[in-house]
Amino acid sequence: MNSFWAVFKRELKSYFTTPLAYVFLVIFLFFSGYLTFKEGFYETRQADLRPFFANLPLLFVFMVPSTAMRLWAEERKVGSVELLFTLPVTITQAVLGKFFAAWLFLGIALALTFPLVVTVCYLGDPDVGLIVTGYLGAFLMAGGFLAIGCFFSALSKNQVIAFVLSVVACAVLVFAGMPTTLNYVSTFLPPGMVAAVEGMSFQVHFDTMQRGILQFKDVAYFILLIAGWVAACAIVLDERKAS
Amino acid sequence: MLFSYAGANKIGGGVVWRILASRVGPLRFQSIVPAGHGDYFGVRVLTAKVFFANLCTLFVWGEAGSSGAELMPEFLETDMIEVKELRRRFGPVVAVDGVSFSAAKGQVVGLLGPNGAGKTTTMRMLTCYIQPDSGTASVCGHDILTDSIGVRRSLGYLAENSPAYPEMTVGGFLKFICDIRQIKGRRRKAALDRVVPMCSIESVYHQTIETLSKGYKRRVGLAQALIHDPEVLILDEPTDGLDPNQKHEVRRLIGAMAKDKCIIISTHILEEVEAVCSRAIIVARGKVLVDSTPQELKGKYHASLDEVFRRITTTQAAATN
């Protein structure tokens, strides 16, 4: 487990020793705040973070792959993957170490949106439980996007390709749950299949969480999604690390 | 009168030295260590497979005088690297085609060969970076297929182009290597104090690796490979791209470490082989063509090592076609 911590620590540090972390944080915080206030934060006259959470999936579609794309693609491009895997580290330790470091980084980005929480607390008397489940859902969703990005990053040496592929994959999973998509799909698929498409989407599971409902099936969805994509990432990496 | 001593069979916990007659029947001749110890005019080092599938070494040394020879356990040697029939192909290209050799402590083995001979692939398989299609190898008794973590723990590897994390400082990078190799606290400080002056990288200790010149990068890579004081060192073209002074420095370093480590270097610079290697293995098209010492090679062909290399790699490679 020590090797896991070593990889984890190095990865997390590397975000902050490069401008990447700061560029990402500034842009993420600006857009998360901007979209919140633009989408009628004041007009609803309600002290909650609904407008903030509602925009997160779309923001994550672009922001999360941009942190995930470098995870393995850069390592393979620079050649340091040869160094890493000739040190006493197993693939699982390395993949998990990097994944959790990136996830914690996204967690830090989410935590830095605390001024919004302060704002609603100042303006009214918000339901704290709602905010907590909302943040939990957002964090799990970030992990899901990240696992997908991590996989595509292991697939290609080229960071741009990794980015584009993971944006597309994430977008498919987000838009699968949008009412317009579901309406269209229901024109040619039986209702059971439509429900299946809806159930695969991030949107549905995240929506129930930001309404304050913490269901086993939603948490399980995210955990399974993360475990599946991260495992796939480890398999692909083992195959391709030397090519 | 000639006395011979053979020894080192591990029975239980102790080492039992056995005196044999001067006959050395089934033992495999391996290398000759030059003389230089008092009365002894020569020491022959022989290896044989003994108990527990361990390879223990038997010594036989003759003496000119009539007085009995003494036991010299410090000559005890074991094969630290054992490569058996390694094979690996990349698509239609067979990169390594049944390479076998072994190397013991105190040896500096030079893997020589033209470009694309399979040197790097062999080293990558030995360091568990890629898996062989067939065959196996063991490093310090750990098998590369079944105990790859054990192998990676016991060796230090400097890969081609000495890859590192460009955004890290030299100090941060070495500390990361310590973390991953579980060298902590006082031991970490001691390891850094030993390795940093050894590779002369004090002046760049706080610089990020991407700002370093090629020579410094190489030395950082070497420091990384030496930080846990491994018994086996595998260096892929350690002097490639260095200036003459740095080359000399690296060779001096290898020479200084040679006696208590097993070192494999790959190179296509032949002067380097003469300068540092006690054994030369010539590979071409994935096959071992010659396994000998540089001196023997030169003696056998009556030519410079350059000439010998050219003759062997061109004629024998042509013969296999």
Whose tokens are 């018994």? That residue is B231
Interface test with B, best of A86, A91, A92 (most B CBs within 10 A): A86
Q: Are A100 and A179 in contact (CB under 8 A)?
A: no
Tokens (6 digits) for A130: 């709602």
Interface residue B165 vs chain A (CB under 8 A):
yes
CB proximity B176 to A under 8 Å: yes
Residues 6+ apart with CB under 8 A from A60: A141, A142, A145, A170
The closest CB to that of B176, out of A10, A79, A88, belongs to A10
Quickly state the pLDDT bin for B316 (edges 50, 70, 90).
low
Whether B168 shows a pLDDT value over 90: the answer reads yes
Quick one: tokens of A41? Answer: 């934060």
Cβ atoms within 10 A of the Cβ of B311, count?
A: 12
Cβ pair A26, A112 in contact under 8 A: no
The kind and range of the H/E element at B92 are none
**R_g over Cα of chain A:** 19
pLDDT of B264 strictly over 50: yes
pLDDT tops 90 at residue B152 = yes
Closest CA to A166 of A238, A60, A53: A60
Does the beta-carbon distance from B224 to A83 stay under 8 Å? yes
Tell me what pLDDT residue B46 has.
33
Q: Domain range spanning residue A25?
A: 2-39+47-240
Judge whether residue B212 has pLDDT over 50: yes
**pLDDT per position as a tens digit, A7-65:** 999 999 999 988 889 999 999 999 998 988 887 777 777 777 888 888 898 899 999 99
Parse chain B into domains and list their residue ranges: 6-77, 80-165+220-320
* CB contacts, 8 Å: A86 with chain B: 127-129, 152, 157, 159
**Contact B180/A7, CB-based, under 8 Å?**
yes
**Order of all β-strands in the sheet with B93-104:** B93-104, B79-90, B134-139, B142-143
Please check whether residue B168 touches A, CB under 8 A: yes
Cβ–Cβ pairs < 8 A, chains A and B:
65
Pairing of strands B79-90, B93-104: antiparallel
Q: Which residue of B has its CA nearest to A83?
A: B163
Neighbours of B33 (CB within 10 A): 18
Residue B28, min C-alpha distance to chain A (Å): 32
Give the model's pLDDT for residue B293: 86
- The tokens describing B37, both together, are 């110890």
Strand order in the sheet with B43-49: B28-33, B43-49, B55-60
Q: What is the mean pLDDT of chain B?
A: 76
Name which residue leads in pLDDT, B165 or A197.
B165
Is the confidence at residue B60, as pLDDT, over 70? Answer: no
Quick one: pLDDT at residue B85? 92
Using CB atoms, pick whichever of B159, B164, B181 lies closest to residue A88.
B181
Which chain A residues touch B180 with a CB distance below 8 Å? 2-3, 6-7, 87-89
The domain total for chain A is 1
A193-204 CB burial, b ≥16 within 10 A, e <16? ebeebbebbbbb
Query: Percentage of chain A with pLDDT > 90?
Result: 56
In B, minimum Cα distance to A242 occurs at B130
Amino acid at A226: I
- For the range B140-144, what are the long-range contacts, defined as Cβ-Cβ under 8 Å and sequence gap of 24 or more? B140/B80, B140/B231, B140/B232, B141/B54
Long-range CB contacts for residues B10-19, cutoff 8 Å, separation at least 24? B10/B50, B10/B51, B10/B52, B10/B54, B10/B56, B11/B51, B15/B73, B17/B71, B17/B73
A 10 A CB-CB count for A23 gives 11
Average pLDDT over residues A166-194: 88
Top-confidence residue, B48 or A58: A58
Selected residue with higher pLDDT from A231 and B242? A231
Alpha carbons B218 and B170: distance in angstroms, whole number: 12
pLDDT at B68 over 80: no
The total of other beta-carbon atoms located within 10 Å of residue B292's CB is 15
Question: Between A2, A14, A83, which is nearest B182 by CB?
Answer: A2
% of chain B residues with pLDDT over 70? 74
CATH fold of B80-165+220-320: Rossmann fold (3.40.50)
Whether residue B312 is predicted with pLDDT greater than 90 in this model: the reply is: no
Judging contacts by C-beta atoms under 8 Å, the chain B residues touching residue A21 are none
Is B180 touching A (CB cutoff 8 A)?
A: yes
Q: What is the pLDDT of residues B71-119, one digit of tens each?
A: 444 444 578 899 999 999 988 989 999 999 999 988 999 998 888 888 9
CA-closest candidate to residue A72, choices A163, A145, A5: A163
Q: What angle do CA A210, A215, A221 make, to 5 degrees?
A: 90
Do B180 and A89 count as a contact with CB atoms less than 8 A apart? yes
What are the phi and psi torsion angles at B313 (to 5°)? Answer: -75, -30
**Quick one: closest CA in B to A87, which residue?**
B152
Q: What is the pLDDT of residue B37?
A: 39
Please check the confidence at residue B24 and state whether its pLDDT lies above 60.
no
Residues of chain B in contact with residue A14, where contact means CB-CB under 8 angstroms, are 165, 167-168
Could you report the per-residue pLDDT of A68-123, keeping only the tens digit for each? 999 999 999 999 999 999 999 999 999 999 999 999 999 999 999 999 899 888 98
- The two beta strands, B262-267 and B108-112, are parallel
Three-state DSSP class for residue B159: coil
* Residue B137 clears pLDDT 70, i.e. is over it: yes
Confidence of residue B320 (pLDDT cuts 50, 70, 90): low
Percent of chain A with pLDDT over 70: 100
- Preferred mutation among A18, A82, A92 to probe B, highest tally of B CBs within 10 A: A82
Phi-psi label, residue A98: left if phi above 0, alpha if psi -120 to 50, beta otherwise: alpha
- The pLDDT value recorded for residue B161 is 85
pLDDT at B35: 37
Q: Which positions in chain B touch A237 (Cβ < 8 Å)? A: none
Give A-chain residues touching B152 at CB under 8 angstroms. Answer: 86-89
**Other Cβ atoms closer than 10 A to B124:** 25
